[in-house]
DNA sequence: TTACACCCTGGACTATGGTCCAAGGTCATG
DNA sequence: CATGACCTTGGACCATAGTCCAGGGTGTAA
């Protein structure tokens, strides 16, 4: 029978047994059935679902979002799946843009720092430690709290 | 006197009082002084530092990383400061690259998804739910657990 | 039958980044 | 001096995403 115990399932998906049970508690992955003893049994569908969960996490989806994605796919609502993916894409792009601004700021500071001499001449320390309005050479980016 | 109580400081920086105290517990932000009563007093340097913390967080730095970043300003070793900043730059660039791979994967899937019709035809669901070791249409993104 | 791997539940614990509360002390204004 | 806003500490609690443990039960093969 191509039915798996929780250990075999976890090994095939590369996760810990506890993680499988955690996903079950979180409403993401239920066993196909249970033995009279209570042992969980999983089929290939559950294995695919577990792999889906891991891949989606790798793309930056939270478990909550993955739960929504799974519900959408069960509902055959392709339009909403696409919209969700688009929203995630926009999120990823915003994060890239913010990091690119920080990269520019850091690169500028590093280029201007002689790497020796007095600390007062180090633009990195000036920008960071500043007494003034602070980090004025660093970009303005979404502060935490302004979060989605 | 341009010295602030914790409430005024928090308001000026747009954070909660508890957050200021939490940062203090975390070794990120100490008051300039204390009144005999124990009340914390902050100067403009502390305000700048607090704003820096928030900006850095917005850019995806953890409090631990921000602590390291701030520690640079206490060091007198300009060479070490520069090296640390360079390491941080490399870190930021690696994060950008990882996010760009995620973006490519998402964009490809979205472009291929008609946005309607049967779930079986949705490449987003196919890629995530696939049987194979697969996700062949997806970039290799650090699966959670392979995290730094 | 015995050995041993496998599995069960429930609950505690990790780390991150806060947020809130209680009980009490202090500061500033009328 | 009374009032109310402000502040103190310590500890509890929240979500996220797990991880681990104790104390027991089960499955299977020699």
Q: Answer yes or no: do A16 and A31 share one domain.
A: yes
Residue of B nearest to A53 (CA): B128
Token duo for residue B50: 């607090």
Residue B26 lies in a domain: yes
Q: Answer yes or no: do A60 and A31 share one domain.
A: yes
Using an 8 Å Cβ cutoff, are A78 and B118 in contact? yes
pLDDT digits 0-9 by tens, B85-105: 788 788 888 888 878 888 888
Of A2-16, A23-37, A90-104, A121-135, least confident by mean pLDDT is A121-135
CA angle (A93 as vertex; B49, B148 as ends), nearest 5: 65
- Pick A41 or A86 by higher pLDDT: A41
Q: Which of residues 67-126 of B touch A (CB under 8 A)?
A: 69-70, 72-76, 78-79, 81-82, 85-86, 88-89, 92-93, 95-96, 99-100, 102-103, 105-107, 109-110, 113-119, 121-122, 124-125
Q: Answer yes or no: do A14 and A66 share one domain.
A: yes
**Residue B98: what pLDDT?**
78
Residue B92 lies in a domain: no
Residue B86 lies in a domain: no
Q: Answer yes or no: do A70 and A17 share one domain.
A: yes
Its domain, for residue A84, covers 78-129
Q: Do B99 and A117 touch (CB under 8 A)?
A: no
Question: Does residue A70 have a pLDDT over 90?
Answer: no
CA A36 centroid distance within chain: 37
Residue of A nearest to B102 (CA): A59
Nucleotide with C1' nearest the A64 CA? D16
**pLDDT mean over B51-57:** 87
Q: Give chain B positions within 8 Å (CB) of A87.
A: none
- Pick A50 or B129 by higher pLDDT: A50
Q: Residues of A59-77 as b/e, b for ≥16 C-beta within 10 angstroms?
A: bbbebebbbebbebbeeeb
Residue B112 lies in a domain: no
Q: Give chain B positions within 8 Å (CB) of A131.
A: 44-45, 48
Tokens 């843009």 sit on residue = A97
Using an 8 Å Cβ cutoff, are A146 and B58 in contact? yes
**pLDDT mean over A17-38:** 96
Residue B47 lies in a domain: yes
**Residue A40: what pLDDT?**
98
The alpha carbons of chain A give a radius of gyration, in whole angstroms, of 24
Q: In whole angstroms, what is the distance from residue A90 CA to residue B86 CA?
A: 29
Question: Does residue A12 have a pLDDT over 50?
Answer: yes
Question: Does residue B146 have a pLDDT over 90?
Answer: no
Tokens 């926009």 sit on residue = A90
Q: Answer yes or no: do A68 and A10 share one domain.
A: yes
Using an 8 Å Cβ cutoff, are A78 and B117 in contact? yes
**Residue B10: what pLDDT?**
97
Answer for B144: CB within 7 Å of strand D: yes
Contacts of A111 (CB under 8 A, 6+ apart): none
CATH number for the domain harbouring residue B35: 1.10.1660.10
Count of domains for chain A: 2
Q: In whole angstroms, what is the distance from residue B71 CA to residue B62 CA?
A: 14
**Residue A133: what pLDDT?**
33
Residue A141 lies in a domain: no
Q: In whole angstroms, what is the distance from residue B81 CA to residue B29 CA?
A: 20
Specify which of A105-109, A125-129, B11-15, B74-78 reaches the highest per-range mean pLDDT: B11-15
Q: Answer yes or no: do A67 and A119 share one domain.
A: no
Q: Answer yes or no: do A87 and A121 share one domain.
A: yes
Residue B28 lies in a domain: yes
Mapped onto helix, strand or coil, the DSSP state of residue A137 is: coil
Question: Can you tell me the ipTM of this complex?
Answer: 0.74
């Amino acid at each position: 029978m191509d039915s798996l115990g929780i250990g075999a399932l976890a090994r095939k998906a590369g996760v810990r047994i506890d993680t499988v049970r955690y996903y079950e508690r979180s409403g993401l992955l239920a066993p196909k059935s249970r033995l009279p003893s209570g042992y969980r049994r999983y089929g290939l569908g559950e294995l695919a679902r577990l792999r889906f969960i891991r891949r989606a996490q790798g793309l930056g989806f939270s478990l909550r979002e993955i739960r929504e994605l799974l519900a959408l796919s069960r509902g055959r609502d392709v339009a909403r799946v696409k919209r969700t993916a688009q929203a995630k894409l926009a999120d990823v792009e915003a994060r890239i843009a913010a990091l690119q601004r920080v990269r520019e700021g850091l690169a500028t500071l590093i280029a201007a720092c002689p790497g020796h001499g007095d600390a007062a001449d180090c633009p990195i320390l000036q920008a960071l430690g500043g007494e003034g309005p602070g980090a004025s050479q660093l970009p303005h980016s979404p502060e935490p709290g302004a979060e989605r």
